[in-house]
Amino acid sequence: MEYRDLGNTGMRASVIGLGAEHLDNKPFETARDTIQTAAEGGVNIMDVFMPGREVRENIGRALAGSRKDWIIQGHIGSVDTHQQYDISRDLALSQRYFEDLLRYLNTDYIDIGMIHCIDTPRQTDAVLSDAFLGTRSSPKRPNAFLSSGA
């Protein structure tokens, strides 16, 4: 597997990443086998945007004992409304889902925080000028993201 530096973060990501959306509504064994196979192939970066509890718990269980080997990209603003994926810019709601992500993945940080679904310069300006970015660095990994309440 080929790896590339992620800027000046000290992290080196595989050029192939694991998009975990297809693990939604799948049993734990599928998540475990998929993550294990990806790791065996040298994949070390995973994108997790799905807000559902079960998929997050399955991924967390599958990562048990190997979290430090993975670069996790988590999405801020990805929420669940009536069991349907949704986007929110409500700080309290987004923070709750972000904290849920940390809890269900059994970790205290994510490596890359992505503001979910920003498609225009106007949306970018709105998010950057708001308190929506209420995250802070992790003492364990200075470039990682924690909940503002952590």
Q: What's the pLDDT score for residue 139?
A: 54
| Biggest alpha carbon–alpha carbon distance for the chain | 42
Q: What's the pLDDT score for residue 65?
A: 95
Q: What's the pLDDT score for residue 124?
A: 80
Cβ–Cβ < 8 Å for 109, 138: yes
Rounded Cα distance between 57 and 63, Å, is 10
Q: What's the pLDDT score for residue 150?
A: 39
CB atoms within 10 A of CB 94: 21
| pTM, to two decimals | 0.82
Statement: 3-147 belongs to CATH 3.50.30.10: no
Full strand arrangement of the beta sheet holding 112-115: 18-19, 45-48, 71-76, 112-115
Average pLDDT per consecutive 10 residues, the chain (150 residues; last block may be shorter): 95 97 96 98 96 96 97 90 82 88 94 86 76 54 51
Q: What's the pLDDT score for residue 141?
A: 58
Q: What's the pLDDT score for residue 131?
A: 57
Q: What's the pLDDT score for residue 113?
A: 86
